[in-house]
Structure 1
């Protein structure tokens, strides 16, 4: 089935919609995607697509092609859901309380399954191999590392992926070289002072005062340590301390996140965070201990792959836009540390942003995203074949 036929095929569109809705109804959290894994594998095997065992607990790796000599190119989709109670009111809403595909991973998975079906139909003509990566645990920023450790990226020359974008209309695609999504690191700061009666604060060390000064001081890092030509975000999202109105507690707790688009900026901001936090606490007689939750690095697209993506998008009639980078994190970045990669935003005309309990996608985008993934894989293999024969 060629690209034009795919985009006109109501049967293909309905097939992908059924797959997406089944996934949407049966969301599973990170590293718990056992039903999802079995469902994906069964769909692939039903079309004669070979599933390859890399020892992953959840997630599916499959391959198409290899009948003609050529490189391996990878396509990736994430499969996990979020711990959110769905509020869409859809007839195919989640059947599992407190679990929801609120980030569109069901859409990504259905898109890659559709691309797999298309690639299978032209398997004998593929100038190499397409490796399909249905990745677990993106929301925990650990799934890509699991895939890399499994060896599933072995001999892969390049990797491509996509993410739905609610603020882009169906029929558009956001393609850009360089930074596209942010490094997303988390922090917990434990501040220890000395408890006392609230009426005699001089007899103790107030961790709430120390925490308040730390929160204020942290805001100076971006404004005074990051160039105006760069960007960073430091957000303290939780403060917890105390048990009673008349007791100065011994400890206070801060949680939050740091977002950066450049590895050097990331390194500098994290180092400065430690200096400010520990220094302010010490100045007020308290002690601060920092525990990091290392998130994915920034998604930085390989400029050499942009032209290929533009050509693939144009081939199926998509409108190309150059998107503004998103401060959200994406562990597709882990693959880009290993091999050249390109990640794009796909227009899905949504009314709610990612992680909202009423999030949904416009399913008319499914054939476009499936066709794009198929086209970019074929385009890459053909470009490498043509370069070798030049």
Structure 2
């Protein structure tokens, strides 16, 4: 029977949490994971990755199943009360990637103990740069997922209680698009506004008009979100400035709606600018698409959750972003939400993860991989 040193795994998570690193800067994190894998004699693929790594367990006979975790942290000053708080100012694991990577490490350790009995190979991704959406495309470009039958991913979910694993067929997370709009007008004295092309008035019109992207363009049965999160202009009380800029995000769940919202966004911005005789610059940054779970594999993963002692739930789609979606453009996949039942949301400075969930999640992932190899055979 496979065994796992739960306390050692928890201690290693605390170590990763204490020394977080931002996207594409995870050099020490990668080295720490490499040392753990080498200690357990788990082979590591030689891939052209600056940070992150890929481990493999099993033989070349049979199918290839992939488990994915992520390793990067966020530019947030930690405010949690844990004893292993981040020792790096302004950086913390506020999204639980330390939990994800340690659950995957635990699964690797368990799978290694039964390597001779595996019906194929399991590759475990310790992926860099999820928070920027850059990590998955880089890893895909290495060919590490070539000929894989299926990929599974996890994310902790503080809104679900411990002991629950949730997911759903079809869209689970949103496509993430970021925008920045710069409005260039003509400044003037505040007492002579007729001599200006007032960028503040224009920016206000844009904020209002952008809300119609959802209310008058997105189908009512296809949820979407537009949020303007920053707006900046001016330097003093009696001068109309010559420029303003605003920034925000658009979230959507279908490729068709995403394309429609992008087209209408540009039309609205350019149309209002023309109406006010102003110039605009649009910086539209397309992020990860929506995570779209394969119905067959997500049903299988939820069944395995029940068999592994979890309560399996079908959950609602969430407007968070997740670059796991890029993998699903190349092969079937299922993304699962692991309940941790903590009071603070993802990306909150006081965010924390329930350690009691770590070892059960590692066991679930190892059992899921074993069963998936059999199913894919």
Q: TM-score, normalised by structure 1?
A: 0.95
- Find 1:22's aligned residue among 15, 18, 33: 15
Q: Deviations over 1:120-171 (max 9, x none)?
A: 0110111111011000000111111111112222222210000000011111
Q: Is the CA contact 1:278–1:289 (under 8 Å) kept in the aligned structure 2? A: no
1:220 pairs with 2:212 = yes
Residue 91 of structure 1, CA deviation: 1.0
Q: Which residue of 2 aligns with 1:158?
A: 150
Q: Which residue of 2 aligns with 1:279?
A: 271
Residue 361 of structure 1, CA deviation: 1.0
Q: Which residue of 2 aligns with 1:367?
A: 359
1:179 pairs with 2:177 = no
CA distance in 2, matches of 1:175, 1:66: 30
Count of aligned residue pairs for this structure pair: 377
Q: Is the CA contact 1:192–1:288 (under 8 Å) kept in the aligned structure 2? A: yes
CA distance in 1, matches of 2:239, 2:63: 67
CA distance in 2, matches of 1:384, 1:208: 58
Residue 364 of structure 1, CA deviation: 0.6
CA distance in 2, matches of 1:53, 1:135: 14
Q: Is the CA contact 2:24–2:129 (under 8 Å) kept in the aligned structure 1? A: yes
Q: Is the CA contact 1:308–1:379 (under 8 Å) kept in the aligned structure 2? A: no
CA distance in 1, matches of 2:88, 2:197: 47
Residue 286 of structure 1, CA deviation: 1.0
> Equivalences for 1:247-286 in 2 at 5 Å?
247-286=239-278
> Equivalences for 1:301-312 in 2 at 5 Å?
301-312=293-304
Residue 384 of structure 1, CA deviation: 2.0
Secondary structure in structure 2 of the residue aligned to 1:186: strand
Q: Which residue of 2 aligns with 1:388?
A: none
Q: Structure 2: which 5+ residue stretches go unaligned?
A: none
Q: Which residue of 2 aligns with 1:103?
A: 95
Secondary structure in structure 1 of the residue aligned to 2:325: helix
**Runs ≥4 residues deviating over 4 A:** none
Q: Deviations over 1:83-120 (max 9, x none)?
A: 11111121111111111000000000110000000100
1:38 pairs with 2:46 = no
Q: Deviations over 1:275-331 (max 9, x none)?
A: 111111211111222101221000110012023212311221110111111111000
Secondary structure in structure 1 of the residue aligned to 2:100: helix
Q: Is the CA contact 2:173–2:290 (under 8 Å) kept in the aligned structure 1? A: yes
CA distance in 2, matches of 1:13, 1:307: 28
Q: Structure 1: which 5+ residue stretches go unaligned?
A: 386-390
Q: Deviations over 1:33-52 (max 9, x none)?
A: 00000000110011110011
> Equivalences for 1:334-345 in 2 at 5 Å?
334-345=326-337
Q: Is the CA contact 2:149–2:376 (under 8 Å) kept in the aligned structure 1? A: no
Secondary structure in structure 1 of the residue aligned to 2:162: coil
Once the two structures are overlaid, the 10-residue window that deviates more, 152-161 or 177-186, is 152-161
Q: Deviations over 1:224-243 (max 9, x none)?
A: 11111111100000001112
Residue 53 of structure 1, CA deviation: 1.7
Aligned-CA RMSD value: 1.1
